[in-house]
Amino acid sequence: MENAVDDDRDAWQRESREMNDELKKMRADIDARLEEIEDDMDDADNATRARMEKSKERLEQWGDDLDNRMHRIGNDVKDGWSDFKLSTRDRLDEIENELDEEF
């Protein structure tokens, strides 16, 4: 019985580390795109600047969401890990698809 508990704990730790690494990578991608937008805004006309502001807001919201999820991993979501993992995987896929389409 003790081995099963240890195996579960080890699996959770491995999966949470992997999930956190994915969240960090996606956050870095978002930060890079935010930096690109900031750099390009100086040379943009008003209409383009407005679109860039909307994109910037959206990226910032996604980044905040990822930050919150990383914080939750750090605060041990072990009891609800399966639900958390599934919702986080869905959110990462959603953000990645929208990043690819929009940017």
- In whole angstroms, give the CA distance from residue 59 to residue 42: 18
pLDDT of residue 92: 94
pLDDT of residue 6: 66
- Whether 4 shows a pLDDT value over 80: the answer reads no
Token pair 């870095």 in the structure block, residue: 28
Domain boundaries, the chain: 2-102
Task: Work out the percent of the chain whose per-residue pLDDT is above 90.
Answer: 62
pLDDT tens column, 80-96: 888 888 999 999 999 99
Q: What number of CA atoms fall less than 13 Å from residue 3's CA on the CB side?
A: 0
- Whether 7 shows a pLDDT value over 80: the answer reads no
